[in-house]
Structure 1
Amino acid sequence: MTPSITRYKMGGYPGIKTATMIRIPASIDPASTDPIVDRRHLLASFLRRHRERLTPAEVGVRTGSTRRRTPGLRREELAQLCGISPTWYTWLEQGRDVSVSPAALARLAEALHLTPAERTYLFELTRKRDPDAPATGRADCPAPSLLAALAAMTAPAYLLDRSWNAVGWNPRAERLFSGWLAGAEKNLLRYVFLDPSARDFIQDWENRGRRLVAEFRAEAARYPDDAILQQLVDGLRRSSPLFATLWEDQSVLEREGGLRGFNHPQDGALTLEQVTLRPGDRSSYTLVMLVEPSGNESAEFREAGH
């Protein structure tokens, strides 16, 4: 789509016979606030920058002795490498509203020599799923350095995998969550919804459970083909009527921190602030810490945990 030009007769204005209005379509309007249009602009800029940084020699393109005015690869050269139409690729770089398949994006990522992080960003911009992404990616274990950091933390802290199984925790977390981490069931959701003691331990249990399900749904959506996740959800729906109801609500929330209340069997009522982090090199894991709201440990908890 190109800008449209409209000319108007300007009667009544001395010295001015016509006026011209140029209408810029949303696909190339730099002032657009449409998030979809913004993503197309970001995609166009991203592709252009990475195309221009590649030299023909890096991708095996022969240029001959002709002087090149274009930095990096030409659009038609990149299109040929990917097996796509040069016109279609040009439209992508112009920010036009064109359909793009995951397979075509994968070929572009390969031809542009994108890093894993850049490739992920490319697919996020287009809201497409990378066809070459690992189906489950469960082979990566917590890094030893991450477990060492967990053990060194002075506040209660634990590490969850994508199914919300506790795969690591420190002694203070085991003392705080004695009904969970000291027991045989290490899955947070199964503990919360299937262990009767969780109702007494977690203050405002039903609302906390509601939020947990909404947060878990948001995270599980990142792994639509994970059979283990599906088995976990199916089992909880069969075993917990409340979980089944909450899951059917399809509420989705980002995982957030905030105050958490507990009724500890030895220390009584506790209010702690939850801090949630996701390790950069193990993004399928979640690190959770419980700290005092003031930033200092309470006297009761300090004495109990040394």
Structure 2
Amino acid sequence: MLDSDQRRLLGEFVRAHRERMQPAAAGRRRTSVLRREELAARAGISVTWCTWIEQGRPVQASPEALGRIAQALSLSRAERAYLFELAGRLDPEGPAGSSAYAPPALIAAVKAIKPPAYGLDRLWNACCWNDAAARLFHGWLDGDCQRNLLRYVFLEHSARVLIPAWKDRARRLLAEFRADFAHTFRDAQVKTFVETLRRESPFFAEAWDEQAVQIREGGLRTFNHSRGGLLSFTQHTFAPSERPDYKLVMLTPAES
């Protein structure tokens, strides 16, 4: 249940956006704003429910009803995300369902970075990377290999050679992915991806069932590179402001 501040903010937001809407027949009436009855009709909810939301009463709309309200109010992407955040709901048509292309800002940042850097989408597919990353991650970002980070780590033999303490690192990586999974578990592609990896990798299935969750903190990362020997980096992870479901990962050489 939402707390009083959330309910108040949600109600104020819905009311303000309703009152800025122009009704279809504005020229033949006293008020030039959309009435609650009209918003309720457009969104397919009852007038009482609409009133209670605006008044900040202890009610909680379903994601489907919120989606209809967002459409009825012609909310922008940012406004819709704000509506769902205030309502404490996951948007079924949120970033996970939007464009599969990497944001231009992410591509530009990866290209501008000299140390190894790459971008990940919501499934942790590599969507862009620089030459330094391709040289470091032989078997993942070079040639025609598997581009998904989790599939690479759990299925490719070269990952076990490149990554010291492979099982521990793999478990940590999966725990970080699970933190993202809380925002994407309704996405059919994400569900299929997880179930496929469970079938293909018994170790993935075992680690997944452990239910470990960890934020992507970064820190020291070492690699047994076939040409460079033992290499150490400090990992940093960022999210583009326009597409927070994507990640920018940068590996700066660790100080010896």
Judge same fold: TM > 0.5, yes or no. Answer: yes
1: CA distance between counterparts of 2:243 and 2:195? Answer: 26
Residue 39 (structure 1) aligned with residue 9 (structure 2): no
Match of 1:169 in 2: 129
Q: Which whole-Å deviations, capped at 9, do the CAs of 1:76-123 have from their partners, x for residues lacking one?
A: 453354453333222212221114233332232123221111112212
Match of 1:90 in 2: 51
Q: Which amino acid aligns with 2:158?
A: S
Match of 1:155 in 2: 115
Q: Is the 8 A contact 1:157 1:288 kept in 2?
A: yes
Give runs of aligned pairs for residues 236-275 of structure 1, distance below 5 A.
Answer: 236-275=197-236
Count of matched residue positions in the alignment of Structure 1 and Structure 2: 255
Deviation at 1:154, TM superposition (A): 0.9
Change (3 A) 1:37 1:212: farther
Change (3 A) 1:164 1:83: closer
Match of 1:118 in 2: 79
Residue 59 (structure 1) aligned with residue 59 (structure 2): no
Q: Which has the higher helix share?
A: 2
Q: Which amino acid aligns with 1:49?
A: A
Deviation at 1:35, TM superposition (A): 6.2
Q: Is the 8 A contact 1:136 1:225 kept in 2?
A: no
Decide which moves more: 183-192 or 76-85.
76-85
Q: Is the 8 A contact 2:97 2:187 kept in 1?
A: yes
2: CA distance between counterparts of 1:222 and 1:203? Answer: 30
Change (3 A) 1:255 1:110: same
1: CA distance between counterparts of 2:142 and 2:160? Answer: 17
2: CA distance between counterparts of 1:87 and 1:165? Answer: 45
Match of 1:192 in 2: 153
Residue 287 (structure 1) aligned with residue 231 (structure 2): no
Q: Tell which has more relative contact order, 1 or 2 (C-alpha 8 A, sep 6+).
A: 2
Deviation at 1:157, TM superposition (A): 0.6
2: CA distance between counterparts of 1:212 and 1:77? Answer: 49
Q: Which amino acid aligns with 1:166?
A: A
Decide which moves more: 243-252 or 74-83.
74-83
Match of 1:207 in 2: 168
Helix, strand or coil for the counterpart of 2:233?
Answer: strand
Match of 2:15 in 1: 48
Give me the identity figure in percent.
51
Match of 1:16 in 2: none
Change (3 A) 1:153 1:134: closer
2: CA distance between counterparts of 1:121 and 1:145? Answer: 22
Residue 235 (structure 1) aligned with residue 193 (structure 2): no
Q: Is the 8 A contact 1:136 1:223 kept in 2?
A: no
Change (3 A) 1:61 1:252: farther
Q: Is the 8 A contact 2:124 2:149 kept in 1?
A: yes
2: CA distance between counterparts of 1:44 and 1:156? Answer: 46
Q: Which whole-Å deviations, capped at 9, do the CAs of 1:4-25 have from their partners, x for residues lacking one?
A: xxxxxxxxxxxxxxxxxxxxxx
**Larger Rg: 1 or 2?**
1
